[in-house]
Homo-oligomer: A and B are copies of this chain.
Amino acid sequence: MIEIHPVPGLPEIARGDDLAALLAGAIADAGLGPLPGDVLVVTHKAVSKSEGAVRVLEGDEEAAYRALVEEESAEILRRRGSLVIAKTRHGFICANAGVDRSNTAPGTAVLLPRDPDASAHGIRMALQAATGVDVPVIITDTFGRAWRRGLCDVAIGVSGLGPITDHRGATDDHGRVLQVTEVAVADEIAAAADLAMGKATGTPAALVRGLRLPPGSGRAADLVRDAPEDMFR
């Protein structure tokens, strides 16, 4: 069985907050451990706020927001009305280059963390120092998709796990080599954690327990399809 525990009781995060210490405290206060084998999922918004990746939208708020989206875009793939689908500096393809005005103070916008893998690593190391348990960390954002309506949470930063489970060469019950070779396990964990967190309540973290992941390492860029390999840009 897999369990997904929202981490309750976290305060509104602000610049300079020690997010890892707050997470360790909230996890302990909730009696959640952490336990070996857990994976900690944190929404990027909490990370970005603690790192100060928040901008004030001066003057005409809408215009300032649009300018910020352009600034955060390494490449614009499509525009439709006020919607921009862009590649971020990290290589992620998402709406508005990940610049978000929900769950942040009026007149401000939250950017993606500058280096989400490094943010995940920092939280993981601090959590290990505080609790003695090495818990892999996934930082998430909510992305749209081509072809399918609705948004899903995905991994934009990882530490301590392989974001793609590679079944190449593995066989099925019939002894046949599996066709499904690479599962985006970090994205599936991100999606699962979102079910427990909820958009409106603002719970920014969840512990996922019972995954039995193979030991691994990697970075969120492993989840990005390189442009030459991508048939849909």
Which residues in A have some Cβ–Cβ distance to B below 8 Å?
1-6, 12, 78, 80, 85, 92-93, 100-106, 142, 145-154, 163-164, 167, 170-174, 176-180, 182-185, 187-189, 191-192, 194-196, 199-200, 202, 211, 222-225, 230-233
Contacts and interface: CB of A to CB of B under 8 A. Distances in A.
Stoichiometry, as copies per complex, reads 2
Contacts of A233: 146-147, 232
5 contacts: A2-B196, A4-B192, A101-B176, A106-B174, A150-B164
Contacts of A211: 195
A196 B167 CA distance: 16
A94 to B, nearest CB: 9
Contacts of A171: 200
Nearest to A231: B78
Nearest to A194: B188
